[in-house]
Amino acid sequence: MARLQIKTSILALACALSCHADPFDSLRLKWRALLVGGDRVDDSIPEIHSQLAAIETHARGYWRSMQKTPERDGLWNEFSSPTSSSQITSAWSRLHYMALAWATPGQKLFGDPALLASIREGMSWMEQHRYSARVPEEYGNWWDWEIGTPLAIDDLLVLLYDRLTPEEIARYAAAIDRFVPDPRVLRVKTPSTGANRVWKCQGAALRAIVVKDAMKQQLAVDGLDPVFQYVTSGDGFYEDGSYIQHIRHPYTGGYGNALIADIANLLYLLAGSNWEVRNPARVNVYRWVFDSFQPLIYRGAMMDMVRGREVSRAGSTDHATGHAIAAAILRISQFAPPDQARRMRSMVKEYFLDDSALKWSAGGSIEQLMAVHTLLADQAVPRRGDLSGSWVFGGMD
């Protein structure tokens, strides 16, 4: 197969990131690059080629099974209930995955006009019948209304931004704002802490970027402040390295996994912008890498004793969790102080090379896989080697 260096409108992206006057456009395009891979993607790398093929295959499957008749009860037969919040999230997530294929170069659905039309039609149907600024949050799980669905819609708006009308963008953004008006609070009697707080802030921040809402953008950034602080009870990170979610559960490999991944992406996204996170306590993120996550990952796998209910989910394994955390740590190394960044890269390299149960290219976005491939090929980065030490997680004990 001939080598192909995939470019995602490099000139336009470079202009937007370096010389465009609108800071919101720069942030939007930076997030889009995280979703589709940016300008570093090379599909001559077998693992990247396979992942691109997987994106196309899954999107084709969702597109093929999507219900397209006017009298349909749902976009997919299995998501036809009008009172299931999880089906709302699942349907929006499938539309998001179809949009990812439409927007990602290197596979045959890239730029497909018929696929785009189906996605837009599906989004319109979901806004009319399931999730909009007009419907109440009166059934199901609050997580779907306030986190799962908003995050999927955010990515859809970023991926399809140039192909949506201003009216479409306004309607979908209004739906997010209806259920995430203030990321610092939840609309149920559950504390907005830990990973839940970060998810809410990400949902609000991306919506604000798309509609260029400076006030809500600052609110989302400020909403992250409590997450960086160490706690002595309840949810959050403890000085001894423990991580707790839902008041008393050791959850470094569950909610902690989601938290570190999203914090890494948000700090990376906002770095150098008008909304860069400037809370002095943000440096604690680097401590979490070494004190909270490193001792609990062995040969690329996150220990089950801190994965909570994730151990019961067929799609969640200890090695897949370890790889997701490793990818987040690699992202953090992009903006961490030089000495700590070097240690992080050596740590991540050790995880992927020492894992004999799961290949480094299993899962992850195209952008993440390219970053890992670059790291593994970099002879200047040594492997960390075995980790020796003793850690007592009193907060989790």
Which residues are part of the catalytic machinery?
Answer: 255
For residues 321 and 281, the answer to whether their CB atoms sit within 8 Å is no
- DSSP letter at 243 equals E
Instruction: Report the residue count for the chain.
Output: 397
d(CA 393, CA 397): 6
Burial of 377 (0-12, 13-18, 19+ CB in 10 A): exposed
Handedness of CA 361, 43, 107, 111 (dihedral sign): positive
Using only C-alpha atoms, the chain has a radius of gyration, in whole angstroms, of: 21
Strand order of the sheet with strand 236-237? Answer: 236-237, 243-245, 249-250
Tokens of 57: 């295959």
Please provide residue 245's backbone torsions phi and psi, each rounded to the nearest 5 degrees.
Answer: -135, 155
Place of tokens 């202009």: 15
- Give the list of residues 6+ apart from residue 283 with CB closer than 8 angstroms, or none: none
Tokens of 159: 């991926």
d(CA 251, CA 311): 11
Among 349, 380, 376, 367, smallest CA distance to 40 is for 367
Got the DSSP string for 316-359?
Answer: --HHHHHHHHHHHHHHHTTTS-HHHHHHHHHHHHHHHHH-SSS-
d(CA 47, CA 323): 15
Crossing angle of helices 85-103 and 113-129, in 10° steps, is 160
Tokens of 293: 């996550």
For residues 5 and 48, the answer to whether their CB atoms sit within 8 Å is no
